[in-house]
Amino acid sequence: MSEWSPRSWKDRPVEQQPDWPDAEALERVVKSLGALPPLVFAGEARKLTAKLGEVAAGRAFLLQAGDCAESFSDYSADSIRDKLKVILQMAVVLTYGSGVPVVKLGRIAGQFAKPRSSPTETVDGVELPSFRGHIVNDDAPIAALRVPDPDRLIAAYHQSASTLNLLRAFTTGGFADLSQVHAWNQEFVTTSTAGRRYEAIAAEIDRALRFMRACGIELEAEASLHQVDFWTSHEALILGYEEALTREDSLTNDWYDCSAHMLWIGERTRAVDGAHVEFLRGVHNPVGVKLGPTATGAEAVALCETLNPDRVPGRITLISRMGAKTVETALPPLIQAVSDAGHPVLWVCDPMHANTFTSENGRKTRHFEDVLGEIRGFFAVHKALGTWPGGVHVELTGDDVTECLGGAEEVFEDDLPLRYTTTCDPRLNARQSIDLAFRVAELLRA
Ligand code: TRP
Ligand code: MN
């Protein structure tokens, strides 16, 4: 294979990059980003690879969750805290309900860029450049604000840094302590079916902790009860940004993309000879690849060969997004091909992206039953093939939004406009997310 460098992606066909109006301005920004400190440390990425290797081997489960697209405008300590809360709640439900360790990976602290099906869109008869995420342009349908602005790369870096800082503080500073399980349940969740089920588990955890204390175990000394390892991930889409944050580790002399612990490649940019695969081939972070219903077994194997030639467990995560109706026919040939090739991969289900439709009142939405249906199909396929359904990848928010339909406290089509605040795709609200965690825990137990 040809020589790799952080810039070698530039010799490959590249999809989904913005039309930056001023190439020099972009170069200047990429250069200054290159001088800023890394957001994560190579040793952390290695530790995550080892954890994901445990998942690939069937000894742990991956919960990858967060916003579809983080926003420059809807950004506050409260929104970060509330997202973390719901992910911790899901992790508690999954860990307690299944007895399997859960690796907690946020779509957060860098999840800003969006691939688009068309470079332009028409709003009220005016053709505008498509919104590509706040790292590129603004979502407001105003031509001047849709022009890609490289200074946004710097803003995204700083927002990622402060988000990650708060996450590190929360997850190691006492907020994620198991003695806080009740405190993560927000008012609007407590009053729901999922919230009440969650409270019951929280009470059992309290009892278990009291029991251990009564047995003479010194709980204070057990760091694992008081902290969690929380990892960050995003789609590596804007390659100039990722390149600028790619650094050589002084311990191993290997390259790491220090913008996040884990990076993934989207369904639209996974061409094996394309720029995105070329870029991620050379960094040593754990990487993911999304696979949609048109993916073939040969493509999946080629991606494994290119991205993980040394067959390191935990290095590669294949994230299928097939649709509830398609998963049981489209996924088995991929798993079969990868298994036959002997590649250690971690299989994860993204039950969101192939279950999106437009409601009668014109809102992009997803139905809870379809999300659950795809996860059920994913588990059924793995059961039939004797492989491990390693995790789920979901879009959620800690807020009480009305973006996805269904759930125990049913959101109806007429409710969608009430609190529809997403910058991009519809997200599960906190109740729907916890409800989903209970269902997944049941599938894991079965
Ligand atoms: N550290 C353990 C873990 O991550 C236990 C734990 C502490 C935990 N706080 C948590 C688990 C919050 C889930 C959620 O599994
Ligand atoms: Mn999305």
Beta bridge partners of residue 364, listed in sequence order? 358
Instruction: Give residue 335's identity as a one-letter amino acid code.
Output: I
- Which pLDDT score is estimated for 436? 98
Atom 2 of ligand 1, nearest CA residue? 224
Question: What are the residue boundaries of the structural domains of the chain, listed by start?
Answer: 8-445
Residues 6+ apart with CB under 8 A from 313: 52, 53, 56, 57, 344
* Cα–Cα distance for residue pair 81/367, rounded to 1 Å: 26
Instruction: With residue 347 as reference, give the H or E element that holds it.
Output: strand 346-349
CB-based neighbours (< 5 A) of ligand 2, an ion: 68, 425
What does the block give as tokens for 443?
Answer: 């599938």
Question: Could you say which ligand is closest to the alpha carbon of residue 172?
Answer: 1
* Cα–Cα distance for residue pair 281/420, rounded to 1 Å: 38
DSSP string, 403-423: -SBBTTTTBPGGGTTTT---S
How far apart are the CA of 234 and the centre of ligand 1, in A?
22
Q: What stretches of 35-150 show up as alpha helix (H) in DSSP?
A: 42-56, 77-98
- Which pLDDT score is estimated for 2? 81
Is the CB of 437 within 6 Å of ligand 1? Answer: no
Nearest one of 397, 340, 398, 404 to 372, comparing CA atoms: 404
The minimum-distance atom of ligand 1 relative to the CA of 229 is 4
What does the block give as tokens for 122?
Answer: 């028409």
The minimum-distance atom of ligand 1 relative to the CA of 104 is 4
Backbone φ and ψ of 246, nearest 5°: -90, 125
Superfamily designation of domain 8-445: Aldolase class I (3.20.20.70)
Is the CB of 92 within 6 Å of ligand 1? Answer: yes
Average pLDDT of each block of 10 consecutive residues along the chain (446 residues)? 92 96 96 98 98 98 97 95 97 96 98 95 93 97 96 98 98 96 92 94 96 96 96 98 98 98 98 98 98 98 98 98 98 98 98 97 96 98 98 96 95 95 95 97 94
**Do 317 and 63 meet the contact criterion of CB atoms below 8 Å apart?**
no
Is the CB of 224 within 6 Å of ligand 1? Answer: yes
Is the CB of 103 within 6 Å of ligand 1? Answer: no
Instruction: With residue 168 as reference, give the H or E element that holds it.
Output: helix 151-172
What does the block give as tokens for 147?
Answer: 């022009």
- Which pLDDT score is estimated for 251? 96
SS3 category, 392: strand
The minimum-distance atom of ligand 1 relative to the CA of 181 is 12
**Do 33 and 241 meet the contact criterion of CB atoms below 8 Å apart?**
yes
Relative to beta strand 126-129, strand 364-366 is unpaired
* Cα–Cα distance for residue pair 18/41, rounded to 1 Å: 28
Is the CB of 80 within 6 Å of ligand 1? Answer: no
- Which pLDDT score is estimated for 446? 86
What does the block give as tokens for 171?
Answer: 């997850």
